[in-house]
Structure 1
């Protein structure tokens, strides 16, 4: 293989990564809306106004907007020009988390990964997993839930894709450490869950499998750094809520977003130092 492939200028790589992140981030709000339900509820299949969600992949892919509501809104606007009665506009033309903010967040995350990793082959793995991490963080913030259909594929994809990258020249990590990192971090979180089930959800345990694989790629130091950063972020968030009197010491908070944020910081430092 021509090793000049990895000599892509970082600026162009960063721009391409940001564009990829923005495009992928546009699709996150619809999936987040559908996944953000209580554990005993089925995934949402309708918009808030009751219209069936349609689109690619059975209605999972696409922008978080309802075509039926949009058409109804256009019809009402046409009627309003000839009738001065109440304007009964639909409430679900757009739904889910704020799309521009989510797209910007995903774009910045992908750009940061490109800057830290450079043109090494594992960057492709980070860019594929980053939107999934953003989706998990959004869902957990909304309903304090980390669905198995997201956490387990994250771990599987991370290990499989990193295994492929280990065969590509110019990579900077080690696949065995990624595997052991997944097992060790998942096991450590499982012990924490057994000790304090109210403080650590089982979804966090399954999320730790994927986080351990990603961080383990760059070594045990990165695993420790990313794990510490996650607990630090979660602790600071909880402390802030207590100081603002919006929560007590026993208030449950979504921990997944902080685990993901800590893993992201650890990954950036690990990739840059590799």
Structure 2
């Protein structure tokens, strides 16, 4: 039964990930720039979901052509293996494609769009509230809400203290990640938060040592926050 659940979650992740490249292309623009409406070929981009390829001429929309299907499949399979057939698994699976898309966009253009971060936070809060009412849930909705306030508030404070190193998008993302981590308790919240910081710091030091970046170079921190939160949720789900 567990193997079947993991396989189904991986299949779902692969299908969901295959629908992300077009959204990645449209959202992959700099701050204050409008979302892309035209492909490089000049034809309008139809919708938000699907491959990053023009339906008229077959032209590829740049770096978003290779979709993150494999990454989303891996993320969903791991979540299914850790959480099992508990109500909150449905919430994690719904949030996973959004998280992968956010990581891809931030890595490309160092931007975490409000159209993704804010609905992610609100959706997690609402869906975890519903999951808490179903027998078999292993977390706490109150803990999720407190986690969102704690991690979101912490990152907003970092934005105020050090705006050059942390952006408002990171703080808005932290609201949703804090909600997910807080579901399993304060220890998981701290684990996920510090895992993101350690991953980001380790990558920055590695790039500095390899002379790929210079001291003071700004890096996209969203992917590390998301990876740390994913590891925290895996740990919390496994021990719930």
TM-score range, shorter chain: over 0.9
The answer to whether 1:26 aligns with 2:18 is: yes
CA contact (8 A) 1:25 1:103 kept: yes
Question: Stretches of 4+ moved more than 6 A in 1?
Answer: none
Instruction: Specify which of 235, 242, 245 is matched with residue 201 of structure 2.
Output: 235
Task: Give the unaligned 5+ runs of structure 2.
Answer: none
Tell me, in whole angstroms, the C-alpha distance in 2 between the residues paired with 1:241 and 1:96.
Answer: 22
CA contact (8 A) 2:159 2:167 kept: yes
Partner residue, 2:233: 267
Task: Give matches, 1:173-192, under 5 Å.
Answer: 173-192=139-158
Partner residue, 1:85: none
CA contact (8 A) 1:182 1:216 kept: yes
Tell me, in whole angstroms, the C-alpha distance in 2 between the residues paired with 1:273 and 1:40.
Answer: 42
What's the CA shift for 1:99?
2.6
Task: Give matches, 1:137-148, under 5 Å.
Answer: 137-148=103-114
Partner residue, 1:157: 123
Task: Give matches, 1:205-224, under 5 Å.
Answer: 205-224=171-190
Task: Give the unaligned 5+ runs of structure 1.
Answer: 1-8, 71-91
The answer to whether 1:128 aligns with 2:128 is: no
Tell me, in whole angstroms, the C-alpha distance in 1 between the residues paired with 2:145 and 2:129.
Answer: 9
The answer to whether 1:38 aligns with 2:30 is: yes
Tell me, in whole angstroms, the C-alpha distance in 2 between the residues paired with 1:17 and 1:104.
Answer: 12
Q: Secondary structure at the match of 1:210?
A: helix
What's the CA shift for 1:94?
5.1
Q: Secondary structure at the match of 1:21?
A: helix
Partner residue, 1:97: 64
Tell me, in whole angstroms, the C-alpha distance in 2 between the residues paired with 1:189 and 1:10.
Answer: 37
Q: After superposition, give the CA deviation of every residue in 1:90-148 in whole Å (9 maximum; x if it has no partner).
A: xx335443535x10000010000000000001000000000000000000000000000
Normalized against structure 2, the TM-score is what? 0.98
What's the CA shift for 1:247?
1.1
The answer to whether 1:52 aligns with 2:44 is: yes
Aligned pair count reads: 240
Tell me, in whole angstroms, the C-alpha distance in 2 between the residues paired with 1:183 and 1:261.
Answer: 20
Normalized against structure 1, the TM-score is what? 0.86
Q: Secondary structure at the match of 1:67?
A: coil
CA contact (8 A) 2:52 2:65 kept: no
Alpha-carbon RMSD across the aligned residues, in angstroms, is 1.0
Tell me, in whole angstroms, the C-alpha distance in 1 between the residues paired with 2:110 and 2:62.
Answer: 19
* Max Rg structure: 1
What's the CA shift for 1:157?
0.3
Tell me, in whole angstroms, the C-alpha distance in 2 between the residues paired with 1:62 and 1:38.
Answer: 22
Instruction: Specify which of 43, 48, 54 is matched with residue 66 of structure 1.
Output: 54
CA contact (8 A) 2:21 2:49 kept: no
What's the CA shift for 1:27?
1.0
CA contact (8 A) 1:32 1:96 kept: no
